[in-house]
Amino acid sequence: MLRSRRSVLSAIAAGLVVGSLALPTSASALTLGFAQVGAESEWRTANTVSIKEAAKAAGITLKFSDAQQKQENQIKAIRSYIAQKVDVIAFAPVVTTGWDTVLMEAKKAKIPVILTDRSIETKDPSLYVTMIGSDFTEEGQKAAKWLLDNYKTPGDVNIVELQGTVGSAPAIERKKGFEEGIKGEPRFKITRSQTGDFTRAKGKEVMEAFLKTDKNIQVLFAHNDDMAIGAIQAIEAAGMKPGKDIIIVSIDAVKGAFEAMMAGKLNVTVECNPQLGPQLMTVVKEVKAGKEQPKWVKTVEGVFPMETAAKEFPNRKY
């Protein structure tokens, strides 16, 4: 009796050994389904490059899709990853709400979900393992702080705002942070605010419309560099000097912003780091290995005023 039990145990042990011997191959063949927002900005392009390169370096098979800034496309992509039985799903949610149904489907299929870059609103936080990305509220606060510290001309300061994609975490939170930051200083007022969908073309278009109806604009706050760069073109076309006649504050700190700062056309950019790929791959492996994750892996970032641009430019990676 005892003997046979022992032999069962050793058979199990042998099985475990075989199982663990087989592990390295199966671990290196992890498949990650990644549903990207789109290709709307320089930031996004850098983010995509980071994810693709990091997956390759980590030996993770990547299935990648571009949702062209549409939630329905991201939902379709996530469903197809579930159908393909990938090991892990990651995505940068284009907007904050409306994810519960598809994430429930992933949960039922026992596929862990990691959020990158943008957060979601959900009553059930167990629908995702962790979120890797920036503190957008803090970025908005940093933009406001730079403005209050540096805008010395007396009188009213009329600020026009170019918002990011409607309903996206960075648009909601950057706005909130910036508003909190200027609250105590009544001469700083947001006089116009509209979405430019995080793109150059839209940033230009909306700034043109602002300038047509409003001659009294002192500051532009753009939720990202691409919209600021589009707006710079509109300001120049209206015969004004961007960076002087209108002070421009934006977010991301991509190379295009450094070029604009070196040309004296953009006053400051608050950093938002798109290079989330390596962190994501580490988390993918750890999640599959059963390691607990914090609910938010925060990115560390700085602020770059115009005067620092030439010195910093050669060090920029995106």
Helices (H) and strands (E) in the chain, counts: 11, 12
> Is the CB of 195 or the CB of 224 nearer to ligand GYE?
224
Question: C-beta of 250: minimal distance to ligand GYE in Å?
Answer: 9
Chain centroid, CA 235 distance in Å: 27
Q: Is 41 in the site for ligand GYE (CB under 6 A)?
A: yes
| 202 binding ligand GYE? (CB under 6 A) | no
Beta-bridge mates of residue 162 = 194, 222
Q: Should residue 203 be labelled a site residue for ligand GYE when binding is judged by CB under 6 A?
A: no
- β-strand 113-116 against 130-133: which pairing, if any? parallel
- 87, 173, 205, 252: which one contacts ligand GYE (CB under 6 A)? 252
**Closer of 103 and 131 to ligand GYE (Cβ):** 131
Tell me which residue of 246, 245, 243 sits closest to 268, measured CA to CA.
243
What CA–CA distance (Å, rounded) separates 75 from 59? 26
How far is CA 246 from each of CA 1, 61, 226, rounded to the nearest angstrom?
88, 47, 17
Residue 218 or 250: which CB sits closer to ligand GYE? 250
Q: Of 117, 161, 205, 301, which lies in the binding site for ligand GYE, with binding defined by CB under 6 A?
A: 117
CB of 225 to ligand GYE, least distance (A): 7
Residue span binding ligand GYE (CB under 6 A) among the ranges 41-49, 102-110, 178-186, 230-238: 41-49
Using DSSP, state whether 91 is helix, strand or coil.
strand
Q: CA geometry: angle at 293 spanning 287 and 297, to 5°? A: 115
CA–CA separation, 290 and 18 (whole Å):
20
List the x/- string, 77-116, binding to ligand GYE by CB under 6 A.
----------------------------------------
Which residues of the shown chain bind ligand GYE in the complex (CB under 6 A)? 40-41, 43-44, 117-118, 170, 198, 224, 226, 251-252, 272
